[in-house]
Amino acid sequence: GENVEQHPSTLSVQEGDSAVIKCTYSDSASNYFPWYKQELGKRPQLIIDIRSNVGEKKDQRIAVTLNKTAKHFSLHITETQPEDSAVYFCAASIRRDLGNQFYFGTGTSLTVIP
């Protein structure tokens, strides 16, 4: 089955700096890669996603890149702010039958130091 690895497990950055979180996946059939942000005590929420036919996607301070050949994708947050502090999960989705099965990374705890 699919295996998603996520690094680093913890990340501390100064406010205003950039943060990068990297994930690798094993199954070339994965075709959808969402990123979720989970604040303390709250549910995971989708912040950005990318499909396998796209190499990069940006949304304001957040960007995701995908390298299908190397089977890795990354989340980039620029100009970090204290409210970016949270746990971030990457996921890879494989289409099975009529639906998708999601495989999640183990999460990155991001701390933005004011």
Partner 1 sequence: KAGVTQTPRYLIKTRGQQVTLSCSPISGHRSVSWYQQTPGQGLQFLFEYFSETQRNKGNFPGRFSGRQFSNSRSEMNVSTLELGDSALYLCASSSGGGTASYNEQFFGPGTRLTVL
- For partner 1, the binding residues (CB under 8 A) are 1, 6, 31-32, 34, 36, 42-46, 49, 51, 89, 91, 93, 95-107
Q: How far is the CB of 65 from partner 1 (least distance, A)?
A: 18
Q: Smaller CB distance to partner 1: residue 68 or 78?
A: 68
Q: Smaller CB distance to partner 1: residue 19 or 107?
A: 107
Q: Smaller CB distance to partner 1: residue 51 or 61?
A: 51
Number of DSSP helices (H) and strands (E) in the chain, helices first: 0, 11
Q: How far is the CB of 110 from partner 1 (least distance, A)?
A: 15
From the number of C-beta atoms within 10 Å of its C-beta (0-12, 13-18, 19+), residue 83 rates as: exposed
Give the DSSP H or E segment for 43. none
Nearest alpha carbon to residue 49 among 34, 62, 70, 67: 34
